[in-house]
Amino acid sequence: MNTPIKFTTAEEAVKVIKSGDHVHLSSVASAPQCLIKAMCARGEAGELKNVHVHHLHTEGPAPYADPKFEGVFQLDSLFVGANVRKVTQSGYADYIPIFLSETQKLYRSGAVPCNVAMIQVCPPDKHGYVSLGTSVDATLAAIECADHVIAVVNKYVPRAFGQAMIPLSKIDLFVQDDQPLVEAKFSEPSDVEKAIGAHCAELIEDGATLQMGIGAIPNAVLAQLGNHKNLGIHTEMFADGVLPLVRKGVINGEAKKTDPGKMVSTFLMGSQEVYNFIDDNPGVLMMDVGYTNDPYVISQNDRFVAINSAIQVDLTGQVCADSIGTKFWSGVGGQVDFVYGASLSKGGKAIIAMPSITTKGVSKIAPVLDTGAGVVTTRNHIHWLVTENGAVDLYGKTLQERARLVISIAHPSAQEELDRAAFERFGSHHHYIKGYMQK
């Protein structure tokens, strides 16, 4: 089982890529930068054309998306991160709208080919297994379907358990490159974000299972949960905010029905402390995204709470988390997977949380969504909506009732205009004016 690995160089390894191939890159902190650099060098040398690149969000450089590679590399991402957003907006790259839970299905169904999977793994253990570390997501499916799998063996990739563990036999070519994983830093929550976090925390019961992603609002929620008991984690991703609650014993997974006692995720992004936390930790399972984001699996946990963000919400409860006008945002992600799963859970709560106005003072609650805005969570799926001004449950409410509730947590500076818009939309045939227009 301790057969030595035969390493090659990144430059030699990427020679398996042919013109017209589809290449998958492992995501987030685990993008294999030395292979990306070598692949792009082949492109600059005129050795490749029409190579399709696929990945979820990645941290670090994405040189294959540079306009100079038009006709050489075509980025068709499954989620658009900040490093490729500008080129996607300008038309030099594209993306495939897809629920996060189904990204793996693209490969397994053959809807998207995978000729070459380029991944990062930890050094092998004595049993001949390596770990995908922080990035399982759709990468496991890509490995299963690829004609060639190139793995960067990196001592900084944590040895994570669950479906992250794969045998060496799944890999065709090995490259060694000990480059520290990219770390993500998050600012302290603002007063508005703290208020949103407090409203969300009030909706979370002891014994709940949580999904809340990363960023200022999730961290603000987690900071409010120090006195809770027996919380669990089943999520697409988590970051540093969960660690104090794990150390305190608040997050222990004891009430979970799926994977009790375990934290479940499909990819991670955070500080080195997070990467150290999952290394050799049997309490964390890094799983295929088809499992973590399956609404049925999610719903098996009672009191499941899913907290997701939004760019804009209209008076009927339509949630845009994809784009506004012609400004491309990021993609659908896992919001619908978890909104639906939490809604099916016994005692579950699906929460959309956002500030009531943008940093430029524009209301994020609008009469109608902006032209071109992508409806991610439909008015049929939305339940709880939270801003710094409160929390309202829209489930089972009529359009007029929804409008009143949504306006009640809008920014005060926007409420009069929203009142007027709601009256024009709903008040001509009904008595909408009762409650808002009689101010």
Residues with a known catalytic role: 236
CA separation for the pair 124, 159 (Å, rounded): 9
Of the candidates 311, 126, 121, 305, the one whose C-alpha atom is nearest the C-alpha of residue 228 is 305
With H, G, I as helix, E, B as strand and everything else as coil, classify residue 371: coil
Backbone angles phi, psi at 10, to 5 degrees: -60, -40
Q: HSE on the CB side for 155, CA within 13 Å?
A: 1
Residues near 250 by Cβ (< 8 Å), separated by ≥ 6? 225, 226, 227, 228, 229, 230, 231
Strands (E), 170-238: 173-176, 209-211, 232-233, 237-238
Q: Quickly count: other Cβ atoms within 10 Å of residue 294's Cβ.
A: 17
**CA torsion, ordered 365, 371, 373, 374, to nearest 10 deg:** 130
CB 87 within 8 A of CB 75: yes
